[in-house]
Amino acid sequence: MNNTTITTPETENGEKYILEVNNLKEYFPISKSFLKKNIVYLKAVDDVSLTLDAGKTVGIVGESGCGKSTLGRTILRLYEPTAGEIIFDGDHIENLKGEALRRKRPEFQMIFQDPYSSLSPRMTVGEIVSEAVRQHKIVPKTELRSYVLDMMEKCGLQAHHYDRYPHEFSGGQRQRIGIARALVMHPEFIIADEPISALDVSIRAQVLNLMAKLQRERGLTYLFISHDLSVMRFICDRIAVVHKGVIVELSDTEELFSHPLHPYTQALLSAIPMPDPERERTKVLKVYDPSVHDYSSDKPFFTEIRPGHFIWANEKELQTYRDVLNQGLS
């Protein structure tokens, strides 16, 4: 299994990283016998280790059902981890309970995939954005409205939106409400779970540009979850490729696009649409076949194959990947 903590070059040079995940597991029981023996588990997150540098964006990419959203929710303690460590800003949070966890929550927030279902239809925009501020007493009651209006404006919303309801807004505007709700707590770290997948193509760039702008202004750290590698290339510093709960490849973004090694990564990259209609029509899609791996005796492990580039492979595969890299760099 994966017993390697993944560190980025910035971390190795001594700069601060904001999140460290070590051997994280999230298993869900899917069947068990009458006597609760022989329980079968769905291994949604399987021994994942990861670090994030402050102010950077790391992408988690994979097909639907690969475990990427579960990984994000487990890191934020929306799910109880089965095993492993979650160290946020130097503090272990994997075992925090009750009031201790509640006090920590303002420091890490989440932007959800569906901007409509994540917003209460019975609450106004002002109530939605200010709810956590009131609960955590971030500002005095007399300053609450002006404080929330200021954050709404930073997210591209207007003052007259304060007393309106979510159904009165477009998808892009609703996602701006979700972003304002997350940022109003002044978090250091945000997990964005497919934040633009439910939006029209015409407004996706607007939301991505807003997130990039807010990151520059506030020094935010993002864990950006998506199935779309073309979007990842625009916003992410590094990308981790997840298959069946395991990170199979991780590298700097441009390195992943120029030198993909794992066959699953190659299959995902081949599915990216091409702007040229003729090239799109004639391109050959790569299909990932897990049976190409023979792990019966030579077990896989996660290792750094070149600086900053990690791969899930056994010894035989590692030699093949090294040969590929040497040929590509010669």
Q: Which residues pair with 176 in a beta bridge?
A: none
- Mean pLDDT value of segment 147-161: 95
What's the pLDDT at 15? Answer: 59
* Burial class, 223, CB count within 10 angstroms (exposed 0-12 / middle 13-18 / buried 19+): buried
In the chain, how many H helices and how many E strands?
12, 12
In which order are the strands placed within the sheet that holds 91-92? 40-53, 17-31, 83-88, 91-92
- Identify the structural domains of the chain with CATH numbers, from first to last: 9-259 (3.40.50.300)
Beta-bridge partner residues of 306: 309
Read off the tokens for 112: 């959800």
Nearest Cα to Cα of residue 204 among 181, 234, 182, 243 = 234
What is the token pair recorded at 171?
Answer: 């998808």
pLDDT digits (tens, 9 = 90+) for 32-65: 666 667 788 999 999 999 999 999 999 999 999 9
- Cα separation, 56 vs 59, in Å, equals 10
Q: What's the CA gap between 254 and 269, in Å, rounded?
A: 12
Residue 5, pLDDT above cutoff 50 = no
Of 229, 234, 239, which is closest to residue 210 (Cα–Cα)?
Answer: 234
Q: How far apart are CA 305 and CA 244, in angstroms?
A: 22
Is the predicted pLDDT of residue 13 greater than 80, yes or no? no
Q: Which helix (H) or strand (E) holds 302?
A: strand 301-306
Contact 133, 150 (CB under 8 A): no
The percent of residues above 90 in pLDDT, for the chain, comes to 78
